[in-house]
Amino acid sequence: MGRKFFVGGNWKCNGTTEEVKKIVTTLNEAKVPGEDVVVVVSPPYVFLPFVKSLLRSDFHVAAQNAWVSKGGAYTGEISAEMLVNLDIPWVILGHSERRQLLNESNEFVGDKVAYALSLGRKVIACIGETLEQRESGSTFAVVAEQTKAIAAKVSNWDNVVLAYEPVWAIGTGKVATPAQAQEVHADLRKWVHDNVSAEVAASVRIIYGGSVNGGNSKELASQPDVDGFLVGGASLKPEFVDIINAAT
Ligand code: G2H
């Protein structure tokens, strides 16, 4: 199958120029398992060109969001065309913070994924259930519905990474156990197998996000269907390097 391990750092709405320089310096000096892992960091928009100019060439950058269609009169938004113009290859879409705080629906996220892909961007598409949904036993129904809305708009999955991020584990320090993560990832891969294709199920990377840190990443990475991570808080710290090395 050969799914290359993928580690994304989602800096969210954090950082000053000085802090950004410090994080990039740490990354540039880090020893990582070369070709065996894809590393993508996602600073806030305003720092994207700056980070891209300083960052080592084997690491990549991602935007944290992009508008759903061609840019224009959408105050405060950033378009996928701008990402093309600035040569920003990746974009995170459908993060639960945007789904919850900004009311992004499954369909809207599906449209955003399709539009970014149509402009040649690579997408980290986020899905995940709330605590209430997990406790009511609807975890997989929720995740399948979110994935279905993406699958409805996407025909080529080569440039899609699926990030399973249980909302109850995000920024809470309450990480999913390796068994909990593996269970959802395996169910999700089966869903892709049954609803998209066996080829896509075998090749699509399903990464885990939610309070990943240097201490828990190795065991999570050992799960057969965990193909990497989307890391928030810990991606701002030197332990991000340990997470990059978790699969080795
Ligand atoms: C989940 C994750 C990064 P954190 O949002 O996407 O954040 O690692 O801080 O839980």
Could you say which of 97, 104, 129, 165 is catalytic? 165
Ligand 1: residue whose CA is nearest its atom 3: 232
Mutate to test the pocket of ligand 1, among 170, 208, 235 (most ligand atoms within 8 A of CB): 170
In single-letter form, the type of residue at position 17 comes to: T
Query: Which pLDDT does position 66 carry in this prediction?
Result: 98
Mutate to test the pocket of ligand 1, among 6, 7, 10 (most ligand atoms within 8 A of CB): 10
Ligand 1 mean position, distance from CA 211 (Å)? 6
Is 209 touching ligand 1 by the criterion CB < 6 Å?
yes
pLDDT-derived band at 35, boundaries 50, 70, 90? confident
Ligand 1: residue whose CA is nearest its atom 8: 232
- Using a pLDDT cut of 70, give the percent of the chain over it: 100
Residue 27, pLDDT above cutoff 90: yes
Mutate to test the pocket of ligand 1, among 6, 11, 12, 93 (most ligand atoms within 8 A of CB): 12
Ligand 1 mean position, distance from CA 69 (Å)? 26
Is 163 touching ligand 1 by the criterion CB < 6 Å?
no
> Are 89 and 61 contacting, i.e. CB atoms less than 8 angstroms apart?
yes
Angle of CA points 110, 207, 196, to nearest 5° = 50
Segment 213-233 mean pLDDT: 97
Query: Which pLDDT does position 227 carry in this prediction?
Result: 98
Query: Which pLDDT does position 171 carry in this prediction?
Result: 83
Task: Specify whether 199 is catalytic.
Answer: no
pLDDT-derived band at 9, boundaries 50, 70, 90? very high
Query: Which pLDDT does position 34 carry in this prediction?
Result: 78
Is 170 touching ligand 1 by the criterion CB < 6 Å?
yes
Residue 168, pLDDT above cutoff 90: yes
Among residues 135, 210, 125, the alpha carbon closest in space to that of 163 is found at 125
Residue 219, pLDDT above cutoff 90: yes
Residue 1, pLDDT above cutoff 80: no
**Residue 44: which region, alpha, beta or left (left: phi > 0; alpha: psi -120 to 50)?**
beta
Query: Which pLDDT does position 47 carry in this prediction?
Result: 98
Could you say which of 95, 97, 129, 185 is catalytic? 95
Listing DSSP states for the chain in one string gives --PPEEEEEE--S---HHHHHHHHHHHHH----GGGEEEEEE--GGGHHHHHHHS-TTSEEEES---SSS-SS-TT---HHHHHHTT--EEEE--HHHHHHS---HHHHHHHHHHHHHTT-EEEEEE---HHHHHTT-HHHHHHHHHHHHHTT-S--TTEEEEE--GGGTTSS-PPPHHHHHHHHHHHHHHHHHHT-HHHHHH-EEEEESS--TTTHHHHHTSTT--EEEESGGGGSTTHHHHHTTT-
Segment 167-177 mean pLDDT: 89
Question: What is the C-alpha separation between 119 and 225, in angstroms, rounded?
Answer: 29
Query: Which pLDDT does position 248 carry in this prediction?
Result: 86
Residue 182, pLDDT above cutoff 60: yes
> Are 65 and 78 contacting, i.e. CB atoms less than 8 angstroms apart?
yes
- Using a pLDDT cut of 90, give the percent of the chain over it: 94
Ligand 1 mean position, distance from CA 52 (Å)? 22
Task: Specify whether 165 is catalytic.
Answer: yes
Ligand 1 mean position, distance from CA 30 (Å)? 21
Query: Which pLDDT does position 173 carry in this prediction?
Result: 84
